[in-house]
Amino acid sequence: MAAGSWFDWTTGDLVTEAKFQDIQDSILFIYASDAAANSALTNKVEGTVYFNTTDDILKAWDGSAWIEVGGGLDAFEVSYLVIGGGGAGGASSGSANVSGGGGAGGYRNNYASETSGDSSSTEDNMFLEKSVNYTVTIGAGGNGAYSSGEFSRNGNDTLFSNIISLGGGQGGGLGSAISGWSRSHTGGAGGARGEGSFFMGYGTINQGGDGGTTASNGCGGGGGASGDGGNGSTDTGGDGANGLSSSITGSATTRGGGGGGGGAGALAGDGGTGGGGDGASGTAGGSGTANTGGGGGGLYAGASSYDGGNGGSGVVIIRYATADATISIGAGLTSSTTTDGTDTVVTFTAGTDTISFS
């Protein structure tokens, strides 16, 4: 019988030498070194496994030597908060009257039992290995200037390892100079519909909510981390959706608010808590706050031309037990490192590069 094969035992079966050897070959042994394993496991076969307590790794016999299994057990748990760049508020050019708020950047969180985007469940645990490069990219917020000639003002995606938080959707606007992007856009959280634009932007599941709808001279607020933006009503802009609070740094902070919608008179919508820019009347929309992924505010402009608010840039925050690893950070990233109790907290606020651990 081959080592490691399965045998269905029944009462009265005799444990032969071959069967006993098979049982022994299937056990996970524990030794302090390869030498100790070699001394004890004189009948080892290819596939025999033991745990090395000195190096904290799992090893298997390949027929001639002990090799690490899957890079060993030199892995450690990491908590993260990853937020995409916020979408810009819709602009107004010439005949445009009113524009919607930008959506917040996607919000993904696996820390403790906190909420992830669109008020969804906490994401799965993450384990990283040492001596492996992991990419971090901080997404910029969308540009709200109507005169730039860009057709898409979504926020930019933020990346940490295999975790991608999408940039927020741009709010809709209307006017001859911006007809190419009069629609609101889907993103981490959706931008709100602008007056005359075709549809509201939809958020991405587990990242952010939808943008609000429009009414006469009143546009919706952008979607946020907590859910959908408020709908506009006649002459009144909808509020941006609120963000979500996280204590991953050791201090509760709200991020991921949607931008407020534009409204006639003084009835523009407020930006959502957590960095959403306020909507405006007769001036440029308010910008989202940096490193919150907040959406930019829309505006009411009559026959004038004004910029939508810029989206706030994204952020990556990671947390791990200080005793587990030491981080090395590439020069292309802007970051700060603190401790909270027995944990290390690293906040990345700009740039792109790799990180690794030892």
pLDDT band at 177 (very low <50, low <70, confident <90, very high): very low
Tell me, what's the pLDDT at 10? 75
Handedness of CA 18, 24, 25, 31 (dihedral sign): negative
pLDDT tens for each residue of 31-85: 888 899 899 888 888 888 888 888 777 888 888 888 877 544 478 999 999 999 9
pLDDT band at 99 (very low <50, low <70, confident <90, very high): confident
Mean pLDDT over the full length of the chain: 86
* Residue 288 confidence (pLDDT) above 70: yes
CA–CA distance, 308 with 40 (Å, rounded to integer): 72
Tell me, what's the pLDDT at 175? 54
Beta bridge partners of 334: 350
Tell me, what's the pLDDT at 30? 86
* Tokens matching residue 94: 């010439």
pLDDT tens for each residue of 223-245: 999 999 999 999 899 999 999 99
* Residue 180 confidence (pLDDT) above 50: no
Per cent of the chain over pLDDT 90 is 54
The domain locations on the chain are: 17-68, 76-358
Q: Give me the mean pLDDT over the 327-335 stretch.
A: 98
* Residue 162 confidence (pLDDT) above 50: yes
* Residue 128 confidence (pLDDT) above 70: yes
pLDDT tens for each residue of 270-284: 999 999 999 998 889
Tell me, what's the pLDDT at 6? 54
Tell me, what's the pLDDT at 355? 98
pLDDT band at 341 (very low <50, low <70, confident <90, very high): very high
Q: Is 254 helix (H, G, I), strand (E, B) or coil?
A: strand
Selected residue with higher pLDDT from 335 and 304: 335
* Residue 181 confidence (pLDDT) above 70: no
CA–CA distance, 187 with 208 (Å, rounded to integer): 8
* Residue 325 confidence (pLDDT) above 80: yes
Beta bridge partners of 318: 80, 346
Contact 122, 116 (CB under 8 A): yes
